[in-house]
Structure 1
Amino acid sequence: MTTVILAEKPSQARSYVEAFQRSTKKQGYYIINDSLLPPDTVITFGFGHLVELAAPEAYDAKYKHWSLSNLPIFPAHYQFIVPTDKKAQFKIVKEWLSKADTIVVATDSDREGENIAWSIMNQAKINLKQKTIKRLWINSLEKDAIRSGFKALKDGWAFYPKYQEAQTRQISDWLIGMNGSPLYTLLLRQNGVRGVYSIGRVQTPTLYMVYQRDQAIKNFKPEPYFELNAEILANQQKFVAKLDPYQRFKDEAELMTFMQAKHVQKGSQDGLIKDVQKQAKKSASPRLFSLSALQTMINRRYHASAADVLKAVQALYEAKYLSYPRTDSQYITDQEFTYLRQNLARYQKLVSKEIALPQIEPQSRYVNGKKVQEHHAIIMTKTVPSQEQLAKLSKLEQQVYDLVLRTTLAMFADPYEYEETTIITQVGDANFKATGKVPTKQGWQALFDDHKADQQEAATLPIVHQGDQVQANLQTPQKETTPPVPFTEGTLITAMKTAGKTLDDEAAQAILKDVQGIGTSATRANVLEILKKRGYLVTEKNKLHVSEAGITLCKAVELEPLLTSPEMTAKWEQALQQISTEERTPDNFLNQIKKFVAKLIADVPTQLTGSAAIKQQIDHQQQAQKAAEVFLETPQATVLNKQKFYIVKPKQGEDFTLPKKWSSKALGKTAIKALVTKGETSKLKGFKSKKGKSFDAKLKLDGHKLSFDFD
């Protein structure tokens, strides 16, 4: 009776192997001996996705070259392939799966892990009904967690609907991409735009959110307004109070009318302390981290990309320091709370500042088993690294671990307590309010003293009493309304999670139970990377903007609201999740996607043909492309920058090319300018012979022929 444990990748397999008593390493698998497992147990592994959806040309050679007449592409049955570089490992996995009596699916404990495992098993063409299928479902790669998981294996078939959901998501994305991308690319090419334009079920509405924000900033027209503030002098101390209730005035005339009605004027005048209220308040520590919340916070603090944060958290998970990363939950169960409490002293040693952690009973803000579905929040594991081990981590990994550590410890600290003072000052018949905050107990905030930027400090107010006479200096500053703030990767991740609703973190968390986001915790970072890699999104000082090519694509797709709507994409995600709960079938969802694709193919050609906005943007992009190509302008010639060479366009004579590299040396502007204007360069360093020896030489241009000049 052979048992085969299928891991997702080699590093995961090694973690399993390390949890067992004895193992023998072979090519592509391990033989395991452990009292916990049956005899004849083998661990084998994939390299992530060993099996992928086939490209359209696998169905018919005609699809190799894009043509509008070939759309739509709706295969009757979807074909899957094993990439060439993974065939050797797939063969090993297939042989062991064929021999197995029991298969333990031990890929990542999420939908994509199910997709990877079941796709491999299906591609191996084994009779799964004749096998016993078990599922390892764990939140940590620590030895204890692995052994506990293998003692409590679940029925593998119970997770089959999760595979169906993940594969349906994969196929639906394929259908939209393989039809939408050629459709828009070919139609835009007919309008004179070069390039390939990629369409995606999740990436397109995500790009469009950034485009809309960019447009709102670009088209924003600041509007002037006036405020009425009072600088109050009381007990030799000054503080600023704002009109209560606060209001703005669109022009000076409106302001003056208000001031006359309230019997006040600009400048110094008498005032009266009308009311003083002091209230003791408490602030609970931040919620525990989901992946998107962690990506948002790390991006805000350290400007790391969402993909880099995910990579760092994944590395910390594989190092056994943090729990499973791809989670949408911000809660833990009593079980996790118990082990965290038991290890508090060890965790505290990693924090330079000693802080009291008296809250040793679970609080529903953080601990709620009913709100933990597949995975709990990202927290530390029982494996506590030493300072030496932490020092060996990358800088970002250290920053991620430190933030998770402090945020988790904050759950055990007292609330941050402060006294809030509100002073109402009456001037004439107008009231002015000032609010101040005085900390009375640091509580959990002591853990974050090094990040004052996260804490909003209010002004410190003087001690005054009701009825005190004061001097008020009324000021009427003129200000302007401000444009929206550009997206960062952190705020965009939050916007994706809240389906485009731009809310602050606390408010966003409150509505998430009712809102399905764009994409999943596992895919959002990858979507942003794809948009950046394809040149649609660019990052400038941690701010995201849409490129010219991205603008062209957005102007094209905005005529088809279903492609750009975050709400529609969120509804699709909700429908996909209904597959894993067996409320909806894969065919039902894919038929909806096919109808949508058919509608695109029918409507988009007419939309693009009749759009003045598209024509205007195409002209703009073509001009931008031409301007971007100009590498150098001299009185003798214009030099264009192509991908692999320069084109020299002399004012007289024929065009010719110059290389970007010559004998392993890159030729930059100085060298090219010298060649075009003088026909030769000064002596240049850094050339290399065929044997790899470095040398210096001049370059000269004889006609259109480039050569060395060693004189």
Structure 2
Amino acid sequence: MKTVILAEKPSQAGAYVDAMTQSERGDGFYTVTDLVLNGTATITYGFGHLVALADPSAYGEQYAKWDLAQLPLFPDEYQFVVPDDKKKQFNIVKRFLQETDTIIVTTDSDREGENIAWSIMKQTSIDLKAKTLKRLWINSLEKEAILTGFANLRDGWDYYPAFQEAQTRQISDWLVGMNGSPLYTLLLREKGIRGVYSIGRVQTPTLYLVYQRDLAIQNFKPTPYRELKATITTNNGEFTAHLEPNTRFTDSQSLNQFMVEHQVMMGQQIATITDVQRQAKKTASPRLFSLSWLQSAINKQYHASASDVLKAVQTLYEAKLLTYPRTDTPYITEQEFQYLSENLSAYQTLLPAAIQLTPSEPKSRYVNGKKVQEHHAIIVTKTVPTADKLAGFTQLEQQVYELVFKTTMAMFLPDYEYEETVIITQVGQALFKATGRVPIKSGWKALFASDNGQQASEHDEDDTQGNEVLPVVQTGQTVQADVVADQKMTKPPVPYTEGTLITAMKTAGKTVTDESSQEILKETEGIGTEATRANVLETLKNRGYLLVEKNKLRVSTQGATLCQGVALQPLLTSAEMTASWEKALQEIGTEKRTQANFLSQIQRFVQKLVDEVPGQLATNPVFNQQIATHKAAQAEADAASKLGQCPKCHVGQLVDRGKFYGCDNYKAGHCDFSLPKHWSGKSITPTAIKSLLKTGRTNKLSGFISKKTGNKFSAVLTLKDGKLAFDFGK
């Protein structure tokens, strides 16, 4: 019996090979032998997606060029192709799959992994019903986890619905993108706006979230208000108390009325301590990480992008140090808790001697098998890296590992304990409240002492009070109160960061930041998935719709134009509507809905866009105002891009044309003058070109490299017969 193991990519295949007793490498495959396989098997692999949806041109020449008259495009049957650069590996995989009796799917254990595997298998046109199909389902690439997984293979057909879900998501995104993008792009070009405008089922509502936040910030008008506070002086010291309940007074009249009604004066007056509460409290360690929560935490602490965090976690997963990254739950099962407990002595080697891990019973805050569906929370594996091995990772990878390691180990440390004191002081007929907190036992917080307190602020939703030590007072004690009205201004909404935007995507735009509240809102499903959100943000940044400035996101002029264009299409802009689509997709994975049903819904939506958008863009005054703003910015950018008069035709202007500087009078063959961006090993800047066109020469430039000697030299550039030349004179 021949067995083929189909992996997702070479690195994953390599991890499986390392776990086997014997192996031999071939071209695009390995031959392996191990008892767990009952003999010999072939491991082959993709390069991620070996199969992709065909471009529109595959459905007819009329779709090769964008044309409003050809919209919408609804293929009767969707075509899939193998990209040219992947055909060699696909043919290797195809040959093995055709010849085998048993196929073991070992791509990533998630829906996209199913899509990759099933797309490859279907593209080979083999009779899958004639094969034995098995599935490897693991959360770690450690040798023991791999061998245990191969010893407990699952029925591969059980995961076919997950493939249908992933493929439906893929096709629906194609339908929206291949119809929406040309629709909006061509309509905007009719209004004089250049560029390509990409529409996406997930990316567009994500962009719109940031756009709405930008508008809220831009339109925000600060409002002055006052808050009452009192400095309370006692025999043992003084402390600050705030009006209870806290009240904002927006004008002098309402403040004065409150003062009169409650017999309170500004300044010094006699007051009475009416209540003193001292209570011992404790706070449990942070919850474990889902991918989104880890991306948010790392972005807040180190300003790393969501995409970079995912890459770092993936690297650590492939290095067998962290468990599977694309998970949406902060829980683990009893099985993971057991292996963590059994390896505490090994983990202890990475901690200071003062911090001692102790075995404990599993707590529902972390361990709940019922809430683990496909993958458990991101935790450390049994493999404990040496200091030298950790040093070999990038700084971000080290930071990610350290945070996950500490958060995992915090489960095995005592709670943080403190005494909370609440003092209520009566001034006239008004009450003022002061809260103080005194640490008793640092517990798990000692683990994060070197993080400058950042861990507590990011993870511990209960630890929101300050650590002010209040003096000892008694109920009924007479004290002195100095009442003042603080002058304050309301503050605008805070711009999104990648971390807070990932959270907003997960909660369908709801302003929720902690994992426990996210669990309550989990039924909304959110925008995108754990596996796709980082890629969506990268797409928006790469297309120039989202700009990042000091870790804060804002929408560009191009992005604002797109958002104004889609503003009248709530199915494109509503985060909650997109979340409902994600939920419908998951119903396909549980066989509660069919692929055809969902795609027909998407087609109706696309048809609605094609029917309504042209008229909306023609008559929307707010959109047309944005068009005027965009065209002005476009003209300003055009003027700034002009480097000087073309020395050949003396009509056009030299502009940056990507790989070279060229005359903008090139259309219809009027002028072909150009200058290189790189010459003799040096990049020629626009500033140098401006000087060259204006004065005939540049300043002396350094960094040229001699073709003969390879040595660097400096020289002035001039133009000679329309070409760059060196001038070595003074």
TM-score (norm 1): 0.96
Q: 1:513 aligns with which of 522, 531, 543?
A: 522
Q: Which of 480, 484, 491 is matched with 1:482 structurally?
A: 491
Match of 1:124 in 2: 124
Q: Spell out, residue by residue over 1:487-523, the C-alpha distance to the aligned partner (whole angstroms, 9 max, x if none).
A: 1111111111111101131453342333211111011
Conservation of the 8 A alpha-carbon contact between 2:320 and 2:381: yes
Out of 6-15 and 680-689, give the one that drifted further.
Answer: 680-689
- The corresponding residue for 1:572 is 581
- Length, aligned pairs only: 708
Post-superposition offset of 1:35: 1.8
**Preserved CA contact (<8 Å) 1:498 1:508:** no
Counterpart residue number, 2:632 = 623
SS at match of 1:476: strand
Residue 25 to residue 677, structure 1, CA distance change in 2 (3 Å): closer
Residues 140 and 322 of structure 2 are in contact (CA less than 8 Å); yes or no, is this contact kept in structure 1?
yes
Residue 32 of structure 1: CA displacement?
1.4
| Contact preservation (8 Å) 1:630, 1:641 | no
CA contact (8 A) 2:524 2:583 kept: no
Aligned to 1:498: 507
Query: Which residue does 1:466 correspond to in 2?
Result: 475
- Describe how 1:377-526 pairs up with structure 2 within 5 A: 377-451=377-451, 452-455=453-456, 456=464, 457-506=466-515, 508-526=517-535
Partner SS state of residue 227, structure 1: strand
Encode CA deviations 1:194-243: one digit per residue, 9 max, x unaligned.
00000000000000001101110111001111111101122352221111
What is residue 691 of structure 2 aligned with on the other side?
A: 674
- Structure 1 pair 635–182 and aligned structure 2 pair: CA distance change class (3 A): closer
Contact kept, 8 Å, 1:631 with 1:641, in 2: the verdict is no
Partner of 1:164: 164
Q: Which residue of 1 aligns with 2:303?
A: 303
8 Å CA contact 2:328, 2:530 repeated in 1:
yes
The alpha-carbon distance between structure 1 residues 676 and 513, as it changes in their structure 2 partners (threshold 3 A), is closer
Q: CA deviation at 1:158?
A: 0.7
After superposition, the Cα gap between the structure-2 partners of 1:397 and 1:632, relative to the gap in structure 1 and judged at 3 Å, is closer
Does residue 152 of the first structure (1) align with residue 152 of the second (2)? yes
Q: Which residue of 2 aligns with 1:224?
A: 224
Change (3 A) 1:149 1:432: same
Within the candidate set 611, 616, 619, 1:602 is matched to: 611
Q: Cα gap change, 1:124/1:658 in structure 2, threshold over 3 Å: closer, same or farther?
A: closer
1:355 aligns with 2:355: yes
After alignment, is 639-648 or 443-452 more displaced? Answer: 639-648
After superposition, the CA RMSD in angstroms is: 2.2
> 1-side partners of 2:663 and 2:596: how far apart?
57
2:704 corresponds to: 687
Q: Conserved in 1, the CA contact under 8 Å of 2:231 and 2:238?
A: yes
Task: Specify which of 709, 715, 721 is matched with residue 697 of structure 1.
Answer: 715
Once the two structures are superposed, the pairs formed by residues 222-301 of structure 1 within 5 Å of their partners are 222-235=222-235, 237-301=237-301
Q: Which amino acid aligns with 1:198?
A: S
Aligned to 1:665: 682
How many Å apart are 1:136 and its aligned residue? 0.5
Hey, what's the Cα distance between the residues in 2 that align with 1:19 and 1:698?
61
Distance in 2, matches of 1:483 and 1:635, equals 43
In the alignment, which of 596, 601, 607 is matched to residue 587 of structure 1? 596
Q: Hey, what does 1:95 align to over in structure 2?
A: 95
Q: Deviations over 1:232-280 (max 9, x none)?
A: 1223522211111110111122212211222222212222111111111
Summarize the Cα distance change of 1:634–1:672 in structure 2 as closer, same or farther, 3 Å threshold: closer
Question: Among residues 554, 564, 570, which one is paired with 1:555 in the alignment?
Answer: 564
TM-score scaled by length of structure 2: 0.93
Could you say which residue in structure 1 is the equivalent of 2:376?
A: 376
Change (3 A) 1:394 1:464: same
* Cα separation, partners in 2 of 1:506 and 1:325, compared to 1, 3 Å: closer
Find the aligned partners of 2:397 and 2:224 in 1 and give their Cα distance.
Answer: 46
1:2 to 1:575, Cα distance in 2 relative to 1, 3 A: same
Q: Within 1, Cα distance between the matches of 2:237 and 2:662?
A: 70
Alpha carbons of 1:389 and 1:427: their partners in 2 closer, same or farther (altered >3 Å)?
A: same
**Do 2:48 and 2:116's aligned partners in 1 also have CA atoms closer than 8 Å?**
yes
Deviation by residue 1:357-403 (Cα, 9 ceiling, x = unmatched): 34511111111111111011111111111122111111111111111
Q: Could you tell me how far apart the structure 2 residues matched to 1:645 and 1:626 are?
A: 21
What is the percentage of aligned positions where both structures have the same residue?
A: 61
Change (3 A) 1:520 1:635: closer
More off after superposition, 233-242 vs 277-286: 233-242
**In the alignment, is the contact (CA less than 8 A) between 2:644 and 2:693 conserved in 1?**
no
Structure 1 stretch 662-671 or stretch 11-20: which is displaced more?
Answer: 662-671
Secondary structure of 1:11 counterpart = helix
Please list every run of 5 or more consecutive structure 2 residues that lacks an aligned counterpart in the other structure. 457-463, 647-652, 665-670
Displacement of 1:683 after TM fit? 2.7
- Pair 661,44 (structure 1): closer, same or farther in 2 beyond 3 Å: closer
1:614 corresponds in structure 2 to 623
Segments of 5+ residues of structure 1 without an aligned counterpart are: none
Which secondary structure state, in structure 1, belongs to the residue aligned with residue 39 of structure 2?
A: coil
Cα separation, 2, equivalents of 1:664 and 1:625: 33
Once the 2 structures are TM-superposed, how far is the Cα of residue 472 of structure 1 from its aligned partner? 1.2
Alpha-carbon shift at residue 676 of structure 1 (Å): 4.4
Shift of 1:414: 1.4
Q: Verify the 8 A CA contact 2:500 2:513 in the aligned structure 1.
A: no
CA contact (8 A) 1:630 1:639 kept: no
Decide whether aligned partners of structure 1 residues 460 and 168 sit closer, same or farther in structure 2, where only a CA change above 3 A counts: same
Q: Distance in 2 between matches of 1:209 and 1:20?
A: 48
Q: Is the 8 A contact 2:259 2:265 kept in 1?
A: yes
- What's the secondary structure of 2:544's corresponding residue? coil
User: 1:446 and 1:196, CA in 2 relative to 1: closer, same or farther beyond 3 A?
Assistant: same
CA 1:632–1:527: 2 relative to 1, 3 Å = closer
- Corresponding position of 1:214: 214
Contact 1:629 1:641 in 2 (8 A): no
Identify if the C-alpha distance between structure 1 residues 614 and 655 changes in structure 2 by more than 3 Å, giving closer, same or farther: farther
Give the C-alpha shift of residue 677 in structure 1.
4.4
- Structure 2 residue matching 1:514: 3-state secondary structure: helix
8 Å Cα contact 1:648-1:658 kept in structure 2: no
- What is the one-letter code of the residue matched to 2:480? Q
Equivalent in 547, 550, 554 of residue 538 of structure 1? 547
Q: Could you tell me how far apart the structure 2 residues matched to 1:656 and 1:174 are?
A: 40
Question: More deviation in 95-104 or 636-645?
Answer: 636-645
Give the counterpart letter for 2:120 in structure 1: I
Supply the distance in 2 between the matched residues of 1:707 and 1:14 (Cα, whole angstroms). Answer: 53
Deviations 1:583-628 (A, max 9, x none): 1110011010001000110000001010111211111112112223
C-alpha distance 103-353 of structure 1, shift in aligned 2 (>3 A):
same
